[in-house]
Amino acid sequence: MREQIKWWQKAVFYQIYPRSFADGNGDGIGDFKGMIAKLDYLKELGIDAAWLSPHFPSPYVDCGYDISDYRGVAPEYGDLDLFKQFLNGLHARGIKLVLDLVLNHTSDLHPWFQESKSSLNNPKRDWYIWKKGNGKQAPNNWYSAFGGSAWEYDAATDEYYYHYFFKEQPDLNWKNPAVKEAMFNEARFWLNMGVDGFRLDAVGTIFEDESYSNIKLKIDQDELFRLSQIAETAKDHTQVHLYWMKMFKHQVDQPEVHQIMKDLRKVINKYEDRVLIGETDDVAFYGNNDDELQLNFNFPLMRTKKLSAEHVRKNQKERLSALPVGAWPCNTLGNHDSSRAFSYFGDGVNDNIQARLNLMLLLSLKGTPFLYNGEEIGMSDYLITDPKKFKDPLSTLYYNLDKKVMGAPEPNASLTGAERGRDKCRTPLQWTNEPNAGFCPAGIEPWLPVNPDYRKGINVKEQEKQTDSLLNFYRFMLKVRRENPALISGEYQEIETDNQSVLVFYRRDAQQVLLLALNLSDTEQQVVVNTHDLYKMKIIANTVKQQPNVSIHSLALSSYQGLILSEVQISG
């Protein structure tokens, strides 16, 4: 097994959000020059692959996920030469690079859409989804997931175009083979340059139900927002989720998408060793017999307020049993669309130690782990509550909805915008404790405000010097993973114990037995593990300084203490 394992199964991926990672030219916006300067940082961190959020030219309505040229580099980030330097710099250090490929939609400023829009009989008219209105109304009652109708009226041609996301992100018509060929050629452009694969944006949204029939739902989008605002219990949240699924059932996960995924897989299979990663938790995207995407995220793992042992157990049971034979899991706890894991899963008191435990969990579960830039120093959500400073239009959407639907006063609506938008997790990387956290020079305004906690030790430079910093724990854990192949290819096997608050499992293969014991609670826990003579095992990783109390079959773990124990090989 160890021998056959592919690089993307072994790899720890690290998501780079280019606008916020490192600013090389001092204009307050991250860029390739900055990323190139941090290549050694990435190497020392110990990651194996980087996923770069969109780096393409874009009007930046949806923070780069509205692409106006799939073969270019956003001028504020640099140019193709700098891109190549970055790619080569990563490869020289043994790090792979996957790009973000947005298949569902382009920017409305993309030349394809500009042509499509220009007249009813333009050859590219059918590259997007255009429909006649229903009298003076939109073709049907579908919503955009980013608010309002999914249809935008074009007065010049008296038709509506469809957009699942913002109106500046018109959906491509994937029923048209010319669209498929054109987009696959964009992908080939980067594959030919040597990139190692793609993270496929919003794959579930590529096709729509061709009947275009109205949704029948008791509630409208305003009401759904209201329900989501007042949701308290897990049951309330599930109800909101179910309504959401119903609202968009004609617009996501349509069966035709799987043929496109199969065709795209054939495209990348023509190159050596490339990978496709779906932004979806639908296991159907693994295909049959490995003919679609190699990795799809286990998002349900992070869809909880509390990473309890019970939640992880349930998640692993459901996820691992749902995977098709031979499919490889993929786990993450945060990205550029979610809250930062440090804040979200932290209880506000033990955040730093919880972050260590959560990292140990992520790196020890079966599957490929994805980290999000900044989590290695404990960056947390930074709420930007001034609506004039919102960069993510979703913040503005929720700010307005809160006022309109809930009658919220200004400060409350601003807070809702800050909390439900995504700027909070996209603030600049904190490199030093100098002004602007060393991201850009003093006196320059970074594109999003820097979290001031960089002055309180949440920065790379200071943490590099402290042996027990979170950053050094990340480096250590990544090394532990590299040096203990059972963590990668070993079988995952849960062990039942007398203590439900502690997650205990094996990762083992023919050569190595590892036992993991993670106390995912805030109190000390005693756990009996009958299967092993624990005191004969060696502790190879510990989330806290304190040594655990180990007796023959039991462990006493302090709050949020996690351990990896290895069976000592008796030689001779």
Question: Catalytic site residues?
Answer: 201, 279
Q: Which is nearer to ligand NOJ, 124 or 336 (CB)?
A: 336
Q: Is 201 in the site for ligand NOJ (CB under 6 A)?
A: yes
Q: Which is nearer to ligand NOJ, 41 or 128 (CB)?
A: 128
CB 65 within 8 A of CB 20: no
Q: Is 165 in the site for ligand NOJ (CB under 6 A)?
A: yes
Site string for ligand NOJ, 416-455 (x = CB under 6 A): ----------------------------------------
CB 152 within 8 A of CB 139: no
Distance CA 78, CA 82 (A): 6
Q: Which is nearer to ligand NOJ, 101 or 437 (CB)?
A: 101
Q: Which of 21, 65, 83, 162 binds ligand NOJ (CB under 6 A)?
A: 65
User: Look-up: residue for tokens 């694969």?
Assistant: 197
Q: Output the smallest distance, CB 62 to ligand NOJ, in A.
A: 5
Q: How far is CA 445 from the centre of its chain?
A: 27
Distance CA 482, CA 43 (A): 13
Q: Is 494 in the site for ligand NOJ (CB under 6 A)?
A: no
Q: Is 225 in the site for ligand NOJ (CB under 6 A)?
A: no
Q: Output the smallest distance, CB 563 to ligand NOJ, in A.
A: 35
CA end-to-end span of the chain: 26
Parallel, antiparallel, or unpaired for β 549-550 and 491-494? unpaired
What tokens were used for 570? 């008796």
The radius of gyration computed from the CA coordinates of the chain, to the nearest angstrom, equals 24
Q: Output the smallest distance, CB 447 to ligand NOJ, in A.
A: 16
Q: Which of 22, 87, 99, 102 binds ligand NOJ (CB under 6 A)?
A: 102
Q: Output the smallest distance, CB 80 to ligand NOJ, in A.
A: 23
Distance CA 36, CA 94 (A): 15
Query: Using CA atoms in the order 438, 13, 55, 387, what is the torsion angle rounded to 10 degrees?
Result: -60
CB 333 within 8 A of CB 301: yes
CB 507 within 8 A of CB 485: no
* 3-state secondary structure at position 51: strand
Q: Output the smallest distance, CB 377 to ligand NOJ, in A.
A: 23
Residues 304-363 that bind ligand NOJ (CB under 6 A): 336-337
- Residue from 282, 265, 422 nearest 344 by CA: 422
- Total number of residues that touch ligand NOJ (CB under 6 A): 9
Parallel, antiparallel, or unpaired for β 562-567 and 513-519? antiparallel
Site string for ligand NOJ, 252-281 (x = CB under 6 A): ---------------------------x--
Q: Which of 202, 261, 284, 333 binds ligand NOJ (CB under 6 A)?
A: 202
Q: Is 70 in the site for ligand NOJ (CB under 6 A)?
A: no
Q: Which of 62, 168, 253, 376 binds ligand NOJ (CB under 6 A)?
A: 62
Residue nearest to ligand NOJ according to CB distances in the complex: 65
Buried b (16+ CB within 10 A) or exposed e, 334-344: bbbebbbbbbb
Q: Which is nearer to ligand NOJ, 96 or 105 (CB)?
A: 105
Residues that bind ligand NOJ (CB under 6 A): 62, 65, 102, 165, 201-202, 279, 336-337
